[in-house]
Structure formats: structure tokens, C-alpha cells
């Protein structure tokens, strides 16, 4: 068994390609996961799709062919040529895959280092895959350890403190643009998690907000929840408008942030009218909510355009990041040590049980043949067990040490064969699988 991660992120993939790769709904995810897991090389899989990344975390039998099958499935979903995907993809295998996942969930690989959303996003992705039957024991192990690692990083560093997210970065940029002006209203489109964060950050920065969503009841509930969460907030700070007012509002207001889950642009060039002030629109959705067009009076910022604030954020957190990476490295080693122990301890137990069985059989045989007296059998048994324990001591020690390595499963499998700890049918079945894999390579 191997761990494999197929990764497309803000580091290696431009926003246009990420839009094509992004999964718009649960049906798309489930269809994709079924296709990936139904191949002969992948046992389990999770797909994470956010504004900054599309990643497939998998437990596979064969890395090379599993990678090919995942890229083929992404090609069929996005219509992006496999050769193009192969040029930009980052592929992480085994220990590097574990280290990468721990880094991602601990928010060290995010556009905004320290943002806390990614842990929840991966947790949701893991739960979805598990509930659909595409993630089982192997990915549960790595996922639970990743959450533990993220918790350790948060507790040991200050990376998770303060306002760190794409939403907070957009609002910080807006405050930089408008300076100390406190009479600016911001139009926020959407009523999901990202919009919730955006509104809260705007209020903290003394902006007032106009909130609009296709689901006006959801927008009203969001506004009520936010206002009631802070005694210093008043009802006039958030104004909820019906979605039909979108065109009118975007042509009246200087500042806009949109973060919907629409699969297509909701703001097009045909909706734009002349405006006497310079407008600043932040599109933090993937796929993007704003059509790609040029207008001298509108500055449009997509997720990837916030890098100046992001780089400042990274420099301020560099020392904390070093500490976090040290924790991740330690946790990666601990994971393989723990994983190896799960496989080696039952093997050692069965070796000793087999030895006890042989000792018992040989003693009873010796008694029946009058080689030893029955009254001495317990002492002889203890002596035989002492000899066997001493004989197996180095084997046990070496297996436990080897189990800490990432490829320990091969050694454990060979040990089972050497000591005949699996029945013949199981071994033959595994040999067939190995032959089938070698024929495909």
C-alpha cells in the first residue's frame, strides 16, 4: 500500500486552470471519486477543492498507474489535455505525501500562511468521501493524524491566531485603498462561509456592508447572526438587499467582494455602467464570479492578485513557520512509527504463538514416547520458551525498528511468508495481484 497525492495549487497552477479543475458540487465529486476508486490501482480517495487548490489524496496499490488514472479522470472532467496536466502537477508519494498533507492541513501550504479554513475544508472532504464509501481505514489513519498535527501546530505556534484568510486579506487590501475613510459601504455577494468571514472583517475595519444573495432568507439570517455576535454592532451596519438589485448596486458602490459558489460568472461586462468614482472589486470565488473584462474605472482583484499582502504575512510569520515545519517533520516520523507498529505487533504475536504451539506439540510427543516424564513438562516448557524468546529477540527488535520506515509493509509481508502466517490461498491471491501489476508496468 502507498499514499499518493495529486496536487494542483496556487503554487503550480494558474487561476484559469484551477477554475477548470474545480468541483462545483457534491455530485461532481462523487462521480469523480467513483471513477478513481473503480480502477485497479486505487483503494481509497479524497478530493479537496478550494479557491487555492484541487488535490486528490489516495491510498493506492501502484503509484505510477494510479497517477495515470487520476490524471485521466481529471482530463475527462475538465477537458484539459493530460500532457498539460502532467507538466504542472505536483505528485507526492508515501512519506512525502504524508508530509505534504500534514503541511496543508496545518495551513503551511496556504496562500495565506496560518489561515484556519483549510483544516475544516479537508475535514469536510474526508467526511464526504468516507460517507460515500470511498475513504476507509487507510485514509482515516492519515487524516486523523493530519488533524492531530494541525492541532499541535496551532498549540505550539501563533500561526492560527489573528485574522488570516483570503477574506481578511481582501478586506486588508480594501482598507489600504480607502485609508481612514469610514463612510464607505461594501457590497458583499453571497451568504456562505467566505461571505460570513468577509462581512465580519469589514465590520471590524469600520466599513458598513450591503449583503446580497440569491437566497435572501439565508442572507438575512447571516446578518442577524453577525449583529447578535457582538454587542458593539448595530442593525444599520448590515443592510440586506434582494438579488434582483445586484446590477443596480454594483453600479452605485465603490467596493465589492463576491464569494459565491456559482459555476459561472454572475457579473458580466454587459452589467457595468459608467460610474464617477474608481471601483474596486474583489473576486475571491473559484470559479470566478466576475467575467474577465477590461474597464479603466474598475480594479478587479482575483485570489492570486493579493500576493503583496500575502508575502508580508509570510515574512511576519517566517519564524513561526520554521517551528511548525519542525513539528510536521516530527509528526511524519511518528505517523510511520505508529503505522508500522500496527502491522508488526500482530506479526510478532503470531510468531510467538506459533512457537508456543510447536513447543506444546513437541513436549506432548516426547511424553507419549516416554522421552520425558509428564511431571517435568512445565519446567521443560519454560526452558523451551526461554530459548525461543532469546532466539527471536533480535528478530523482534529488528522488525520493530524496520517498522518505523515508510516501506515497512513489504518487510512485514515477507515475514508473514517466511513464517507462514497467512494461508496458501491468500498468498496465491497476492501473487496474482503482483503479477497483474507487473504486466501493466
Give the integer Cα–Cα distance in Å for 255 and 292: 18
Residue 256's SS3 state is: strand
Residues sharing a CB contact under 8 Å with residue 230, sequence separation 6 or more, in sequence order: 203
433 is annotated as an active-site residue: no
In DSSP terms, which residues pair with 48 in a beta bridge? 55
Give the integer Cα–Cα distance in Å for 122 and 385: 49
Give the integer Cα–Cα distance in Å for 46 and 37: 10
Measured over the CA atoms of residue 63, residue 66, residue 72 and residue 78, the dihedral's sign is: negative
DSSP 57-90: EEEES-HHHHHHHHHHHHHHHH---HHHHHHH-E
Give the integer Cα–Cα distance in Å for 264 and 435: 47
Residue 405's SS3 state is: coil
Instruction: Tell how far CA 276 is from the center of its chain.
Output: 45
Give the integer Cα–Cα distance in Å for 258 and 337: 45
| Peptide bond connecting 287 to the previous residue in cis, omega within 30 degrees of 0 | yes
DSSP 236-280: GGEEEEEGGGHHHHHTT-SEEEE----SS-SB-GGG----SS-EE
Of 51, 132, 384, 433, catalytic: 51
Which residues are annotated as catalytic? Answer: 51
Amino acid at each position: 500500500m502507498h499514499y499518493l497525492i495529486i496536487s494542483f495549487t496556487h503554487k503550480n497552477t494558474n487561476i484559469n486552470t484551477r477554475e477548470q479543475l474545480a468541483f462545483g458540487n457534491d455530485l461532481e465529486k462523487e462521480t469523480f471519486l467513483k471513477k478513481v476508486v473503480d480502477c485497479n490501482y486505487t483503494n481509497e480517495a479524497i478530493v479537496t477543492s478550494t479557491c487555492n487548490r484541487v488535490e486528490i489524496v489516495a491510498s493506492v496499490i501502484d503509484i505510477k498507474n494510479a497517477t495515470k488514472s487520476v490524471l485521466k479522470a481529471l482530463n475527462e472532467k475538465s477537458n484539459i489535455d493530460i500532457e498539460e496536466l502532467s507538466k504542472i502537477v505536483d505528485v507526492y508519494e508515501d512519506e512525502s505525501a504524508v508530509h505534504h498533507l500534514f503541511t496543508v492541513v496545518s495551513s503551511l501550504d496556504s496562500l495565506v500562511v496560518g489561515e484556519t479554513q483549510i483544516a475544516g475544508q479537508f475535514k469536510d472532504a474526508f467526511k464526504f468521501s468516507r460517507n460515500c464509501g470511498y475513504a476507509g481505514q487507510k485514509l482515516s489513519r492519515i487524516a486523523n493524524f493530519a488533524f492531530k498535527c494541525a492541532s499541535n501546530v496551532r498549540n505550539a505556534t501563533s500561526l492560527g491566531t489573528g485574522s488570516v484568510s483570503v477574506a481578511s486579506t481582501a478586506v486588508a487590501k480594501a482598507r489600504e485603498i480607502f485609508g481612514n475613510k469610514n463612510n464607505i459601504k461594501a457590497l458583499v455577494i453571497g451568504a456562505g462561509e467566505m461571505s460570513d468571514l468577509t462581512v465580519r472583517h469589514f465590520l471590524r475595519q469600520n466599513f458598513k456592508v450591503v449583503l446580497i444573495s440569491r437566497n435572501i432568507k439565508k442572507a438575512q439570517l447571516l446578518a442577524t447572526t453577525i449583529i447578535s455576535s457582538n454587542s458593539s454592532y448595530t442593525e444599520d451596519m448590515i443592510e440586506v438587499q434582494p438579488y434582483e438589485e445586484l446590477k443596480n448596486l454594483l453600479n452605485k458602490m465603490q467596493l465589492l467582494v463576491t464569494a459565491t459558489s456559482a459555476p459561472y460568472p454572475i457579473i458580466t461586462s454587459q452589467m457595468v455602467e459608467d460610474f464617477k468614482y474608481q471601483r474596486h472589486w474583489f473576486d475571491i470565488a473559484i470559479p470566478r464570479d466576475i467575467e474577465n473584462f477590461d474597464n479603466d474605472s474598475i480594479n478587479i482583484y482575483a485570489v492570486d492578485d493579493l500576493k503583496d499582502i500575502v508575502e508580508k504575512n509570510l515574512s511576519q510569520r517566517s519564524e513561526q513557520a520554521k517551528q511548525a515545519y519542525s513539528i510536521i517533520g516530527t509528526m511524519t516520523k511518528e505517523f510511520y512509527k505508529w503505522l508500522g507498529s500496527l502491522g508488526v505487533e500482530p506479526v510478532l504475536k503470531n510468531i510467538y504463538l506459533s512457537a508456543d504451539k510447536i513447543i506444546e506439540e513437541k513436549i506432548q510427543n516426547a511424553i507419549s514416547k516416554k522421552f520425558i516424564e509428564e511431571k517435568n513438562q512445565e519446567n521443560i516448557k519454560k526452558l523451551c520458551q526461554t530459548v525461543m524468546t532469546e532466539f527471536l529477540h533480535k528478530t523482534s527488535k529488528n522488525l520493530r525498528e524496520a517498522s518505523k520506515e515508510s516501506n515497512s509493509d513489504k518487510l512485514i509481508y515477507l515475514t508473514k511468508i517466511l513464517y507462514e502466517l497467512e494461508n496458501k490461498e491468500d498468498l496465491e491471491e497476492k501473487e496474482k495481484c503482483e503479477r497483474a501489476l507487473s504486466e501493466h508496468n
